[in-house]
Amino acid sequence: MSNNLRFQVVEEAFKKRAVEVKVPQERPSEYFGKYVFTRQKMYKYLPKDVYDKMIDVMDNGARLDRSIADAVATGMKQWAMEMGVTHYTHWFQPLTEGTAEKHDAFVEHDGKGGMIEKFSGKLLVQQEPDASSFPNGGIRNTFEARGYSAWDPTSPVFIIDDTLCIPTIFIAYTGEALDYKAPLLRAIHAVSKAAKDVCQLFYDDVTKVQVNLGWEQEYFLVDEGLYSARPDLLMTGRTLMGHESAKNQQMDDHYFGTIPDRVQAFMKDLEIQALELGIPCKTRHNEVAPNQFELAPIFEECNLAVDHNMLLMSLMKKVARNHGFRVLLHEKPFDGINGSGKHNNWSLTAIRHNTDSRLSCGAAAVPVLLHAPGTTPEENLRFITFIVETLMAVYRHNGLLKASIMSATNAHRLGGNEAPPSIISSFLGTQLTELLDHIETSDTNELFTLAGKQGMEIDIPQIPDLIVDNTDRNRTSPFAFTGNRFEFRAPGSSVNCASAMIALNAAMAEALTNFKERVDERMAKGEDKIPAILETLKDDIKTCKPIRFDGNGYSDEWVKEAARRGLDVEKSCPVIFEHYLDESSVQMFESTKVMNRKELEARNEVKWEMYVKTVQIEARVLGDLSMNHIIPVSTHYQSQLIKNVQGMKDVFPADEANRLSARNMKLIQEIAERTERIERLVEELTDARRVANRVESIHERAIQYHDTVCPKMEAIRYEIDKLEMIVEDGLWTLPKYRELLFIR
């Protein structure tokens, strides 16, 4: 690409105006779920007895009766065809961090030489995609292709364009999970059962416990023309080189600032289409870094929330292109400024079956947020129980939780620019910390009260009193309590939320099960219930105390202190993945029936393989750009400087020429030295890749890539970024940070 073309692309990007968005005439509540087979549509299109059975499956976890599948498929097809649908697909989530689908038409032979539209229960419930061509960690060989996708009736089907999308799990012919949804559903079931058993200590009318998830999706937008002019963005999702802009986020003027018109139009279009697909978008705003933004929904049931996030990421990419943007979901697309995360707000809700005769409807489902304080001492004991057991889960498996959010891309983000550190700890706030310390050291087994939100008087007559939460926020905490839920801030922006949710829910199920067993043992020995609960909590508060940290997670002192506490402080991504195969992890996953050892070993193989491929692609792209863009441009500028120096000698006396050309001589030498180092480092980078590729074990190969290939890439980037500040701007072929990071 010539310098003129670069300037043209930049100029065109700054001239672009917002795309006009067609806004529905109805209110959002009226078109919400337009393309979703909702309960209202199920009631309309399904026979009454079939509808009742489906609701029992969705609400109460009843096993799906295959005998109703044909009736459900017929109703779905009728609704879908009325919406202009011609195809259907099983929509699943393989271990690629994306989604997969194969489209089939609603057509069959009619036996008379023609075609009829047909969709049977058999096709709805189960299909057979190729299992060998997806990441499987050696569970399937290329010649062993059979795998199954099976309908998940708890997540509603939806329409994209002309296709009916059916959320499914994906398993191997031999039964192992090859996706995220299957183990997520198992983990949700495990924690729901364990939490319900613990809830029985406090309420005798709990019918089920729901896992809640509210994700916050951060992302960058880049003009499509500028994106296309950066091969590194195009192929890796991040800039492998680029000197920081003189102005980026240091003025704090982008965060919550006025949204640019083009971005506002994109957001409006995205929200309309997301709402039509049943994704309950709630919040949108500018994030900290230039060109960085966030979208967050109202919290939902965990499985549905994960599906919606995966669907949204796909939708974002499509809508962005319609507005002349490319959306960047990479955790660290630009060096030196904020990266993007996907904060997972997680909590548990107990559903109580209230039979108060004063209610006009007789019985009613009453939700109780288990991580929120109550209004009575007994409810506060329940609150503390679930807080402490959450801390126990995080403490026992802090290394595993770290592995669940780690990736080659997220490793660039963690630990800087407001991203949480990679050491997993939990922030509780002063009030809750003091309460746990009091319970731990108390000699009595008396119940306690909790102060709720307090009023803060502002000394301005026109301003009403503020209601202040019982805990502050700590942006450096990976797992922070925020009043009625925990915010797992460490997951990256590009990943499937299910990875973190599988580990967290399984660990929580183990902690709650263990707690209930120990309380039951005390009660079996004659101890009253309240003292039995409090004494068990005291033991756990002491045990999990190392995971509690309210200070600065970025400090060097915390790294040393965390190591002293026995927390995982490892920084190597491939080594961190090993926690999935810790005996404590395997035992936890198997005891909760979430995954077995074979599935865990396979997933680790996939993680190591994906790490290697990610770094491998980046290294190849960096080598190509270095040799075909950076060095030619730099040496071309160097040639111009040499001609200038030679011209000086032709015009001025020798001493004067030497004095006047001293700066250019210095630049000539610096360019020569830096291009020589780049050329040598690229050769070393290639050799390091070749050596690593010969390592037979994928585990050891990943470690080799981390230890030998990544440092070479950092060294090359350093030299290139220095050259960018030396070479004439008109010759530099790649759009710079100052051009990429600001939308007009």
Residue 346 pairs in a beta bridge with: 213, 486
Confidence at 489, pLDDT banded by 50, 70, 90 = very high
Q: What H or E segment, with its residue span, contains residue 603?
A: helix 597-625
Which of the pair, 443 or 513, is modelled with greater confidence?
A: 513
The tokens describing 55, both together, are: 């609701």
**Burial class for 618, CB neighbours closer than 10 Å (0-12, 13-18, 19+):** buried
**Burial class for 650, CB neighbours closer than 10 Å (0-12, 13-18, 19+):** exposed
Mean pLDDT estimate for the chain: 91
pLDDT of 268 reads 96
pLDDT of 459 reads 58
The answer to whether 384 and 377 are in contact (CB under 8 A) is: no
The answer to whether 334 and 183 are in contact (CB under 8 A) is: no
Alpha-carbon gap, residue 525 to 662, rounded angstroms: 90
pLDDT of 359 reads 44
Q: What is the DSSP letter of 341?
A: B
Q: Note the pLDDT tens digit of each residue in 143-202.
A: 667 789 999 999 999 999 999 999 999 999 888 999 999 999 999 999 999 999 999 999
Which residue blocks in 175-329 are alpha helix, DSSP H?
Answer: 181-199, 224-228, 231-236, 261-276, 302-322
The answer to whether 327 and 220 are in contact (CB under 8 A) is: yes
The mean pLDDT of 635-641, rounded to a whole number, is 95
Task: Decide if pLDDT at 362 tops 80.
Answer: no
Residue type, 650: D
Confidence at 15, pLDDT banded by 50, 70, 90 = confident
Alpha-carbon gap, residue 409 to 494, rounded angstroms: 9
Confidence at 135, pLDDT banded by 50, 70, 90 = confident
Of 125, 126, 106, nearest to 116 by C-alpha is: 106
Alpha-carbon gap, residue 471 to 429, rounded angstroms: 5
The mean pLDDT of 430-449, rounded to a whole number, is 82
pLDDT of 376 reads 86
pLDDT of 517 reads 98
Which residue blocks in 83-161 are alpha helix, DSSP H?
Answer: 121-125
Per-residue exposure over 346-358, b if at least 16 CB sit within 10 Å of its own CB, e if not: bbbbbbbeeeeee
Of 369, 382, 385, nearest to 515 by C-alpha is: 385
Count of CB atoms situated within 10 Å of the CB of 528: 11
Per-residue exposure over 693-711, b if at least 16 CB sit within 10 Å of its own CB, e if not: eeeeebbebbbbbbebbbe
- Upper half-sphere CA count for residue 499 (Cβ side, 13 Å): 30
Range with lowest mean pLDDT among 396-400, 426-430, 443-447, 654-658: 443-447
**Which residues of 355-482 form beta strands (DSSP E)?**
364-369, 426-427, 454-456, 466-468, 479-481
The answer to whether 623 and 682 are in contact (CB under 8 A) is: yes
The residue count of the chain comes to: 744
The answer to whether 509 and 592 are in contact (CB under 8 A) is: yes
Which of the pair, 454 or 395, is modelled with greater confidence?
A: 395
Alpha-carbon gap, residue 327 to 319, rounded angstroms: 9
pLDDT of 358 reads 47
Give the Cα-Cα-Cα angle 400, 406, 409 (nearest 5 degrees): 175
Q: What H or E segment, with its residue span, contains residue 478?
A: none
Of 726, 632, 729, 633, nearest to 10 by C-alpha is: 729
The answer to whether 367 and 211 are in contact (CB under 8 A) is: no
pLDDT of 462 reads 55
pLDDT of 1 reads 42
**Burial class for 463, CB neighbours closer than 10 Å (0-12, 13-18, 19+):** exposed
Task: Decide if pLDDT at 408 tops 80.
Answer: yes
The tokens describing 111, both together, are: 């036996």
State what percent of residues in the chain have pLDDT above 70.
92
Task: Return the axis-axis angle of helices 597-625 and 710-724, rounded to nearest 10°.
Answer: 30
Q: What H or E segment, with its residue span, contains residue 343?
A: strand 342-354
Residue 455 pairs in a beta bridge with: 467
Task: Decide if pLDDT at 465 tops 60.
Answer: no
Of 700, 578, 598, nearest to 138 by C-alpha is: 598
Alpha-carbon gap, residue 742 to 736, rounded angstroms: 11
Q: Note the pLDDT tens digit of each residue in 300-340.
A: 999 999 999 999 999 999 999 999 999 999 999 999 999 99
Of 625, 610, 586, nearest to 492 by C-alpha is: 610
Task: Decide if pLDDT at 17 tops 90.
Answer: no
Of 446, 423, 407, nearest to 615 by C-alpha is: 407
The residues, any chain, with a CB within 8 Å of residue 582's CB and separated by 6 or more, are 399, 400
Q: Note the pLDDT tens digit of each residue in 245-290.
A: 988 888 778 888 889 999 999 999 999 999 999 999 999 999 999 9
Q: What H or E segment, with its residue span, contains residue 655?
A: helix 654-660
Count of CB atoms situated within 10 Å of the CB of 220: 28
**Burial class for 255, CB neighbours closer than 10 Å (0-12, 13-18, 19+):** middle
pLDDT of 357 reads 44
Q: What H or E segment, with its residue span, contains residue 314?
A: helix 302-322
The mean pLDDT of 419-428, rounded to a whole number, is 89
Range with lowest mean pLDDT among 210-219, 279-288, 416-425, 560-569: 416-425
